[in-house]
Structure 1
């Protein structure tokens, strides 16, 4: 079977296609580097197969802008040992990376933009997921099967439709609870002990799912991740849950974006990806995932886990960004799954989880020239897409203040008419265990949420507590849920 490749790219540092086209016009060809993510396979056998097939027509796609290109590739340079190479011809390489090393280089003699129909004829479906290089059959029908993969196959069983929401744990230097019990009144309980005792004290129903919405560590330190792993294992044991019944997303303190060149390979994600592998006991997990849970009595919960730590510099690390190019295929899968469940008379609950907030959380923001007012930069697009897909609720953290609100955006329907669709409810989890000096004046305690799915809606209970301070109710409200 003959093969070709699809390379995914984004215009992070330059207008990628115009820059390469300019070199092609001057030199007859341009070298296009594979900016392989550190988490991706080296695909040496696939590169060898593709190199033997040259010259070959390959696909280039910017999923963020939904722009698609066909390129004529005459040569591929790579190291059979899997190392990185400098450009074979620096004068045929864009200046912004001609002195850097990459795992593979593609010599392109032409780049032509094509429409969706032509793309589908050549390559099948747009590739989904996080990788940047996809080797596919040249037959579009076979390519479609490979690229349009399914994210979920069957549900994970849970004993109850109850979500325990934790956020902003900050294991490491800013962690406020003892790692081991001490003979001090305020330090006698570890966090997992305090949560178990608090839930029992307030008469909480059995928890079915634990959701942790980012900032698991203080500064992405290895010690912090190891402490968090120990906590999670103990907490799941106390709640009689398994790692499969856990949803984790990263926060800006877990993936430190402070070097623009590091983010070419997304090496900053390595500590968090290693943490995911340890917690879940398997590798290859993507940072954007769709979890499907179901109770014995047929209550389905779909949880869309989103990575909002996407800006590429320290100056913008407080801001969140998810990216429609990454969450779009997952949201399509969620919508199709919800339609399938509805056809059987079921009413699934769909929830999205990310770290950064999508609405203002404090009543009044304190101006700070050193630390800008942060937000999820594509919050408007995200909210519009979530509400159209039937997602009822968004869970987040980030600002250490518990928050409950609702929002919706006017959008055009399939007939071009404007309408104000169903509201999306937003729940900010506050901080579960950060030190008191990292908390806002609006909430000088730690907090967590317990959300139970009932016939009337989502019963949201927020509890505040602190080392040595027992649970007490902070907020309680029933969030109305539209028919999924």
Structure 2
């Protein structure tokens, strides 16, 4: 098979991969290694055909690349089970050999091929000593750019992480191989809902909500200095980025803003919001591809007053009410908004974790003329359309982390609600329970929102309605995290908030930051939830536990 070797990508998600496989080799002499392909990847039939033929003649060596740590290993392969057809079907190991598969993915539905290994050893001289022999065509990348990798030395782990594939053909480097560093970046995403993979440089997500940029009569609704104003007072963006930089251990790869950019949805307010968002992305060294936004109830111009009234009936036609938000979206995102004002994205973090976001407009105007401005409703067609475009199917497991973003609540956030607020639904989307059920069926692990300016953490066990009960009436677990307002004056005791979600192979950290009376943001509370796999396959997020400050 000449000097070509194949590099296989993996990541530690719910277990220490190398350690678990080595335990079985030590006990039984061999272990099965499963191949989990990327969503955009085909069966790689050429690779498996070469491996199968070579392994039948004699043991062969492959290289294993840990995309999280950047470490490489050499493994000896003695047997291969190739994918079936287009690799959409799960492939199992021979009967009686399941004990040779590590327990943590023994029943997984994701393995599309297998290699039987007899030895795994660290490969400490990989970087700079191996070169690409050829590059598989990858979605979203120009062929001319990919051709530049042929006969090029592999400089570092970033070069491999930048490609949406799990298998590379490599060989030992030779004199004459070029050695410049080439880091791929994904082209700008040109639509609101897309399966195109967006790569992130950080494992943390910044979640902000309810900024309420305001000018004119309601100017005092926004507590920070506006970007257009002079003065020594912090702007909201300055306060947030200062806190993130001070934390030192946070590298933001993605920003999610869950609505209420403005107070009355005016064009002038959107100009302020736009200036702030552009500066925030610049401060964090991010592009619009790394931003997810949805409107809140304040972002739709329900009426023409200079005041916002949560109990006011809608008196504007939907097209006119949405106009200013749509213009804001075009300016920031550089493409046309979705007809539902929704977004769908697939992000890949440096740790290798895939985050799929379904961001929905919960300020729907489709409920009739008596619909009140402060009430929320998610168009069910919007959820079906966006989740379907992302490839989410009911009761179909996935190893991606699935995130639902809305503005209104899916659960009550107060211990005791004001009885006078009953008519507006206490801030809950009127279809909140329906949405929880739809999310749980599609393996959504986490929903985040804003609206009530209340930092909030919750977890629901979701069941099917009795008359709709299937063989398993339990749909799953859904965590819900609300963001406190980042910029409004209408908060408890003059406090403002933002959230940071930090991903790692072991799980998810939630860090809540708080500022009082326009002072500096500081960490208020930290929680952790572990990753595991469902018994039927798929990534699961465990219960939240408080992280005690040391």
Inter-partner Cα distance in structure 1 for 2:428 and 2:207:
20
> 1:406 and 2:451 equivalent?
no
Aligned match of 2:9: none
Aligned match of 1:471: 521
1:411, distance to aligned residue in structure 2 (A): 1.7
Contact 2:265 2:299 in 1 (8 A): yes
Secondary structure of 1:478's partner? strand
Inter-partner Cα distance in structure 1 for 2:374 and 2:364:
10
CA displacement, residues 436-455 of structure 1 (integer Å, 9 cap, x when unaligned) = xx1135xx310000001122
Aligned match of 2:384: 328
Aligned match of 2:211: 169
Aligned match of 1:366: 418
For 1:213-292, list aligned pairs within 5 A: 213-258=258-303, 262-263=316-317, 265-286=318-339, 287-292=341-346
Contact 2:410 2:428 in 1 (8 A): yes
* Alpha carbons of structure 1 residues 201 and 297: separation in structure 2 relative to 1, 3 Å: closer
Inter-partner Cα distance in structure 2 for 1:416 and 1:182:
58
Inter-partner Cα distance in structure 2 for 1:370 and 1:380:
17
Aligned match of 2:233: 188
Aligned match of 2:480: 426
CA displacement, residues 407-435 of structure 1 (integer Å, 9 cap, x when unaligned) = 12212799832432321100100100112
1:369, distance to aligned residue in structure 2 (A): 5.7
Inter-partner Cα distance in structure 1 for 2:514 and 2:228:
20
CA displacement, residues 321-357 of structure 1 (integer Å, 9 cap, x when unaligned) = 1021221122233344899995xxxx31110101001
Specify which of 257, 265, 281 is matched with residue 212 of structure 1.
257
Inter-partner Cα distance in structure 1 for 2:370 and 2:498:
29
Specify which of 441, 446, 458 is matched with residue 496 of structure 2.
446
Inter-partner Cα distance in structure 2 for 1:367 and 1:340:
41
Aligned match of 1:43: none
Aligned match of 1:350: 402
Inter-partner Cα distance in structure 1 for 2:433 and 2:421:
25
Bigger shift: residues 201-210 or 375-384: 201-210
Inter-partner Cα distance in structure 1 for 2:397 and 2:283:
32
Contact 2:292 2:343 in 1 (8 A): no
Specify which of 335, 344, 354 is matched with residue 300 of structure 1.
354
Aligned match of 1:15: none
* Alpha carbons of structure 1 residues 268 and 409: separation in structure 2 relative to 1, 3 Å: same
Aligned match of 1:159: 201
1:191, distance to aligned residue in structure 2 (A): 1.4
5+ residue gaps, structure 2: 1-190, 304-312, 534-538, 540-550
Inter-partner Cα distance in structure 2 for 1:285 and 1:244:
15
CA displacement, residues 76-107 of structure 1 (integer Å, 9 cap, x when unaligned) = xxxxxxxxxxxxxxxxxxxxxxxxxxxxxxxx
5+ residue gaps, structure 1: 1-148
Aligned match of 1:461: 511
1:367, distance to aligned residue in structure 2 (A): 3.0
Inter-partner Cα distance in structure 1 for 2:438 and 2:248:
37
CA displacement, residues 240-295 of structure 1 (integer Å, 9 cap, x when unaligned) = 000110000100000133475743x5321111111100111222434122111113
1:209, distance to aligned residue in structure 2 (A): 0.6
Specify which of 433, 438, 446 is matched with residue 393 of structure 1.
446
CA RMSD in angstroms comes to 2.9
1:171, distance to aligned residue in structure 2 (A): 0.3
Secondary structure of 2:464's partner? strand
Contact 2:396 2:442 in 1 (8 A): no
Which one has the largest radius of gyration?
A: 2
Inter-partner Cα distance in structure 2 for 1:338 and 1:295:
25
